[in-house]
Amino acid sequence: MKKLIRIISFLLVIATAVPALSLNISFDAAVTNDRIREKQNEISALQSLLKEQSKNSDSARKKIAEIQNDIEQTEERKVELIEKITDLEETILSTKELIRTYEELIQLKEEEISETEKELSAEEASLIEFLRYDYESGSSSLKTIEFLLDSASLSDFLSNIQYIGTLMDYQEHLMQSIENTGVKYEGQKYDLDTTKTEKEEYAKQMNAELDEATALREQLMEYIYKLEASELEYEAVLQSSESAEKELTSQIKAAQAEEAELIKEEKERLRREEEERKRREEEERKKREAEELARKLKESQQASEREKAALAEASAAAYGSGGYLWPIPIDSTIHFWITGWFGYEPNPLRAGIRFHKAYDIGAASGTPILAARAGKVITAKYSSSYGNYVVILHSDGWSTLYAHASKLLVSVGQKVERGDVIAKVGTTGDSTGNHLHFEIIQPDGKTRVDPWDYFEKLSKMHINDSPRYDKYNNPRKKYYTP
């Protein structure tokens, strides 16, 4: 008992120190959790910034890709245009050669025209000279007639006619020649003008196409320069954004490392706290066990005293009047209860009420069954209703019956003393559970007597074992004769 008191005192001291320790643990937990939450909020904010920065980087990459695509397409157009300009320049060279040919042709035509003009001037001079001669010689129409009339003979007349015809033919020839030369001159002038016009149109068209291609190439070059400048700007933006991403990623990794360290510290703190909690629980358990041990010890002492008193009382009551002994041992290791009383009760096997002519004593299977009095075994067998049962005939002609045994330990003709073990409790025959069916029979072999008359004190101690007693057994019948 003194040792128990020392254990209890020690546990009380520990219990007094626990609240302060719990307060420190709670404070540490709150601080650590706040730091973890702050670090998690910091990581969340950095991740949001990284997400926005990633969007900016993606946007810059997309814009750079678009610009590069525009540059490629513009470069393709520029190459096509340069090829076109090259073709135009080659065509212009050919055209220049053609123009030089035209110029040479024009020069030749101008020379031809100059010759024709000289020829025409000569012909016009010849005609003027002829007309002047004709006029001076009087070769008019009247003079021509007179000239013919003055002919000396027919032969002279015909000669004069032929002469006049020759003059007229020559005049007509001169006129026709001048006309032909004029037509030739006009044709040469037209050809010259046409050639000059064609030369100018060719030159104008080639120059216009060349100017247009050159201007377009300059525009494309300017556009490419602008695109390349924009590309450089977006590359700078992308480089800055990627640098910011790297920095944010580095910060996030550092914050996550710090968070992991805090979580590790928190886990370690929780581990220590759990160990402390288990230690306190163990101390509490030991304290409770010590208190329970003390309580049980005290109760055990009290119960032991009560049990001893009750056992002594039951043992005394087990020796009923008339020399009868209670058929179940009165022992602290054996528990029994009266489940059926002598008298009217509900039939446990079928509907209705029956008269029960014995005590039913419930006990564990295998519990020893004792001979209530000394005598001779006259029955030891099995029946469908009693199951395994024994009947002992006593010296005064009375007998006792023990039924539903799991095992019989005596045989017919065997003599037994009061308290000898004759069988084991069971549930054979018409039975609903392990119990002993105990009957006290008068010498006529038929009339059963209420065991209460012999075990009144012990029966009163178990009066509450079965509620059937108060409901059906009062007023009581003392005997039963079938």
Q: Which tens digit of pLDDT belongs to each residue from 87-125?
A: 877 777 777 777 778 778 778 878 878 888 787 788 777
Angle subtended by helix axes 154-318 and 141-149, to nearest 10: 140
Cα distance between residue 54 and residue 58, in whole Å: 6
What pLDDT, on a 0 to 100 scale, did the predictor assign at position 417? Answer: 97
CA distances from 455 to 339, 351, 395, 417 (A): 15, 30, 20, 19
Overall average pLDDT of the 259-281 stretch: 90
- Flag whether pLDDT at 392 surpasses 70: yes
Q: Which tens digit of pLDDT belongs to each residue from 298-357?
A: 776 665 566 667 677 778 788 888 899 999 999 878 899 999 999 888 888 888 888 899
Most confident of the following: 57-66, 243-252, 308-317, 393-402:
393-402
- Flag whether pLDDT at 218 surpasses 50: yes
What pLDDT, on a 0 to 100 scale, did the predictor assign at position 286? Answer: 86
Q: How many CB atoms lie within 10 A of CB 459?
A: 22
What pLDDT, on a 0 to 100 scale, did the predictor assign at position 398? Answer: 97
Q: Which tens digit of pLDDT belongs to each residue from 451-480?
A: 999 999 999 889 888 766 666 665 567 888
Q: What percent of the chain has pLDDT over 70?
A: 83
Domains within the chain, CATH numbers bracketed:
2-253 (1.10.287), 320-480 (2.70.70.10)
What pLDDT, on a 0 to 100 scale, did the predictor assign at position 245? Answer: 85
Cα distance between residue 311 and residue 331, in whole Å: 7
Overall average pLDDT of the 160-169 stretch: 71
